[in-house]
């Protein structure tokens, strides 16, 4: 059983026992809370706790997709394809400016190309 199937099995079990969110906003709030917990563990530099909290973020995001009746694998495929397309486009715009790699650039400089790429693909 892959991890997505396992999540669906557990979500179905929770639903059977009436352990369900009342609305999608509750899940979004849970995701935000889990992200806050990730930040705490990053500051503590506790790798094991960090991995656990990152897992909670991922599970909560997948639970939101499940709640909204969205195919989790399809959501992941779409997101990965979009990320790859934007990355390639950002690199293309950087190359047009004579930049062959993002190495050595600040995050602000990288995000400038990311935003240009994102806007060009709309």
Residue 115's alpha-carbon distances to 7, 52, 76, in angstroms, are 34, 31, 21
Q: Are residues 59 and 10 in the same domain?
A: yes
Q: Are residues 82 and 112 in the same domain?
A: yes
Residue among 70, 91, 76 nearest 11 (CA) = 70
What is the domain count for the chain?
2
pTM of the full structure: 0.82
Q: Are residues 55 and 82 in the same domain?
A: no
Angle between helix axes 47-67 and 24-44 (nearest 10 degrees) is 170
pLDDT at 74: 95
Q: Are residues 28 and 85 in the same domain?
A: no
Tell me the residue range of the domain where 113 lies.
76-120
Q: Are residues 13 and 66 in the same domain?
A: yes
pLDDT at 1: 76
pLDDT at 3: 86
CATH number, domain with residue 8: 1.10.287.1080
Q: What is the mean pLDDT of each run of 10 residues along the chain (122 residues)?
A: 86 89 96 98 96 96 93 94 97 96 96 97 91
């Amino acid at each position: 059983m892959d991890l997505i199937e396992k999540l669906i099995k557990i979500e179905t079990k929770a639903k059977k026992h009436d352990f369900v969110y009342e609305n999608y906003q509750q899940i979004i709030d849970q995701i935000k809370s889990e992200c806050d917990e990730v930040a705490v563990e990053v500051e503590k530099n506790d790798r094991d706790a960090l991995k656990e909290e990152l897992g909670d973020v991922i599970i909560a995001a997948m639970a939101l997709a499940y709640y909204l009746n969205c195919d989790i694998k399809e959501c992941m495929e779409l997101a990965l394809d979009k990320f790859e397309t934007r990355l390639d486009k950002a690199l293309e715009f950087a190359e047009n400016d004579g930049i062959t790699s993002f190495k050595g650039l600040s995050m602000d400089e990288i995000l400038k190309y990311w935003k240009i790429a994102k806007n060009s693909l709309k």
